[in-house]
Amino acid sequence: MPLLTMKQILDDAIAKNYGVGAFNINNMEQTLAIMSAADRTESPVILQASRGARKYAGPVMIYGLVQAAMKLYPKVPVALHLDHGNNFETCKQSMDDGWTSVMMDGSLMEDGKTPSTFEYNVDVTSRVVAEGHKRGITVEGEIGTLGGIEDGHGADRVKLADPDQAVEFAHKTGVDALALAFGTSHGAFKFKAKPVLAYDIVQAVNKKMPGLAIVSHGSSSVPPELVAEINKYGGKMPGAMGVPLEDIVRSIDFGVRKINIDTDLRLAATATIRKVFVESPEKFDIRDYLRPAMEAMSHVVETRMIAFRTAGKASNFTKVISLEEMAKVYARK
């Protein structure tokens, strides 16, 4: 099965009321962990690579890893998505590199830190949509600013999305998916107290635009048992806290379709590697700690796929809609 567009996957999630995890990849271990979990649970999946990942492994390596994983797991429907593109050029480059979906985060300026204006966001996102849709590629935008900084990207203050402005933004730009700031946050230290998600924002946007896929960024639950394990084996992550998994699951019924998860896999890998180092200090074969790390990440992904009701949905994708066909659909609009 070739790469799918993210839109094809999210359209099915909208039609059948489920959520799809979008998991960040930087290397082989993460890619195999996610893809094997998708295969075991028969789930479609969104693999996303950030600008940081494209710098770390290089776009050629990331694309090659995804292609290889798809050969190993041919039944898994996969979309390859750019996470937090910061300008038109980065998005266009990812399209040239074979990504089937891109995010243009125009809620922040090019530096990935400074909040932008609504006008700037509409302008830059519209240009990415025009370029993407011409090629049949999916485009995600963002409105409001999420808190938390990850991969050097993010504002240090939160501005929840205004539903009317979000709808206006989606109409003006033509985005396929929209990241809404509704109370989630990036990273492992996002909250001082249990977060309260503003489901009403999601609900209001979903009611006016039921065909728009709403995206929840920063949706790691930061499992306390993983944080405890890290701290037990010499780590230092006091006060790490995430969004409870049941809150994320609840947001699916209000219209959230794409759920971004990165931190939870980092925690699972770090906890496992620390444990091996402390319990077996004689070990120095990298497979001795990367194999269990991979298994721990895969377990996290599997539990999310089951919780988001993605499990069992792979068989919905009997036909891949090609980029050419998608481009024709967009051209008719």
For 223, phi then psi, to 5°, come to -55, 125
Taking the least distance from each CB to Zn ion, the nearer of 86 and 272 is 86
Query: CB of 55: closest distance to Zn ion in angstroms?
Result: 17
Considering the complex, what minimum distance in angstroms separates the CB of residue 33 from Zn ion?
A: 20
Q: Which of 81, 217, 274, 313 binds Zn ion (CB under 5 A)?
A: 217
- Of 217 and 274, CB closest to Zn ion: 217
Work out how close the CB of 153 gets to Zn ion at its nearest, in angstroms, rounded to a whole number.
7
Which residue is nearest to Zn ion, using beta carbons?
A: 217
Give the interface segment with Zn ion, choosing from 4-12, 217-225, 277-285, 303-311 (CB under 5 A).
Answer: 217-225
Tokens standing for residue 9: 């996957």
Choose between 181 and 297: whose C-beta lies nearer to Zn ion: 181
What sign for the dihedral angle of Cα 246, 299, 67, 27? positive
166: closest CA among 153, 179, 147?
Answer: 179
Taking contact as CB under 5 A, which single stretch among the options 12-20, 214-222, 268-276, 321-329 is the one that binds Zn ion?
A: 214-222
Residues 302, 227 contacting (CB under 8 angstroms): no
Residue closer to Zn ion by CB (options 217, 304) is 217
Q: Give me the phi and psi of 116, to 5 degrees please.
A: -100, -175
51 binds Zn ion (CB under 5 A): no
Q: Spot the catalytic one: 83, 162, 262, 264.
A: 83
Nearer to Zn ion, 43 or 263 (CB): 263
Question: Taking the complex as a whole, how short is the minimal distance between the CB of residue 86 and Zn ion, in angstroms?
Answer: 12
Residue written as token pair 């949706």: 219
Q: What amino acid is encoded at 270 in this protein?
A: T
**Shortest separation between residue 222's beta carbon and Zn ion, angstroms:** 15
Neighbours of 114 (CB within 10 A): 10
Site string for Zn ion, 278-297 (x = CB under 5 A): --------------------
- Residue closest to 237 by CA, chosen among 190, 193, 173: 190
Distance CA 84, CA 74 (A): 28
Smaller CB distance to Zn ion: residue 103 or 311? Answer: 103
- In whole angstroms, how close is the CB of 186 to Zn ion at the nearest point? 6
39 catalytically annotated: no
Read off φ and ψ for residue 84, nearest 5 degrees. Answer: 50, 60
CB of 289 closer than 8 Å to CB of 276: yes
Identify which range of 23-31, 127-135, 209-217, 224-232 contacts Zn ion by CB under 5 A: 209-217
Q: In sequence order, what E strands does the chain have?
A: 20-24, 45-50, 78-85, 101-104, 138-143, 177-180, 213-216, 256-261
Q: Which residues are catalytic?
A: 83
- Residues forming the site for Zn ion (CB under 5 A): 217
